[in-house]
Amino acid sequence: MNMTIVGLVFQDGIILGADTRATEGPIVADKNCEKIHYMAPNIYCCGAGICIDTEGDYIHGHQLFALPPATSRESRVVTAFTLLKTHLFGYQGHVCAALVLGGVDITGPHLPIYPHGSTDTLPYATMGSGSLAAMAMFESNYKKGLYRDEGIKLVCKAICASIFNDFFSGSNVDVCVITKGKTDYLRNYQLPNPRTYVSSKGYSFARGQTEVLSTRIISLMANLVLAEGDEMEE
């Protein structure tokens, strides 16, 4: 499964985005899957790569760090960051997961990324098969101190660029806005490529338009009886 995932830092926090297409080679397996994963109330993680690696037990297992401690403090982004990059680095790329982790904690907004265990902290990031098209949108339009609506618009623009230019990305746009004390997961926020040509009436061909050249009727029950008789004789 390939896809496009993005994230950027705006004035008040983090905005994550992803398309919703899941593929099995050239086959579209799921048109509306979720690729933005909950890790804590203030931390979400996008995954690009193989489905079992990005959505499997290892991401959800690392949610243990989000259990409220005795002090009842919110989860730290660096904790999730360290756990995930340590896991990926230990497998040296054999876990096929490129991740974009975004969150807001007491130290402010953070957008670390890590494919195969390498790490970086950037104002914006793109990963997945359509990352080049999405990165082109960020590099030409991103500016420091974006407002919420401007950031959402730019994230959607980046995902749409990948949907229209990458075979493995498609369907809808999911957006997750993380700010101090609040998270908005905007599922199917934008539908950039609706199907308008599907007819609810089905085929409208009248009977008799296709000529029948010959007809042959085969009795399946008769063949079954003969086959059973042959077995009994043997």
154: in domain: yes
User: Within a domain: residue 202?
Assistant: no
Q: Is residue 195 part of a domain?
A: no
| Residue 199 in domain | no
Read off φ and ψ for residue 171, nearest 5 degrees: 70, -120
Q: Is residue 225 part of a domain?
A: no
Ramachandran bin of 12, using left for φ above 0, alpha for ψ from -120 to 50, beta for the remaining angles? alpha
Calpha distance 222→234 (Å, rounded): 19
CA distance 11 to 15: 10
**Residue 89's domain is classified under what CATH number?**
3.60.20.10
Per-residue tokens: 94: 């054999």
Question: Which residue segment(s) compose the domain that 53 sits in?
Answer: 4-190
Residue 214 lies in a domain: no
Residue 219 included in any domain: no
Asked if residue 36 is part of any domain, the answer here is yes
How many domains in the chain? 1
Q: What is the pLDDT along the chain (234 residues), one digit of tens a residue?
A: 568 999 999 999 999 999 999 888 888 888 999 999 888 889 998 988 877 677 664 555 565 565 555 566 788 888 888 888 888 888 887 888 888 999 999 899 999 887 777 888 899 999 999 999 999 999 999 999 999 999 999 999 999 999 999 988 999 999 999 999 899 999 999 998 776 666 566 666 677 777 778 888 877 776 666 555 554 444
Cα–Cα distance, 211 to 207 (Å, whole number): 10
β-strand 27-30 against 36-40: which pairing, if any?
Answer: unpaired
pTM of the model: 0.79
Q: What is the rounded end-to-end Cα distance, in angstroms, of the chain?
A: 52
Residue burial 61-94, b: 16+ Cβ < 10 Å; e: rest: ebbebbeeeeeeebbbbebbbebbbebbeeeeee
Tokens of 68: 């409220």
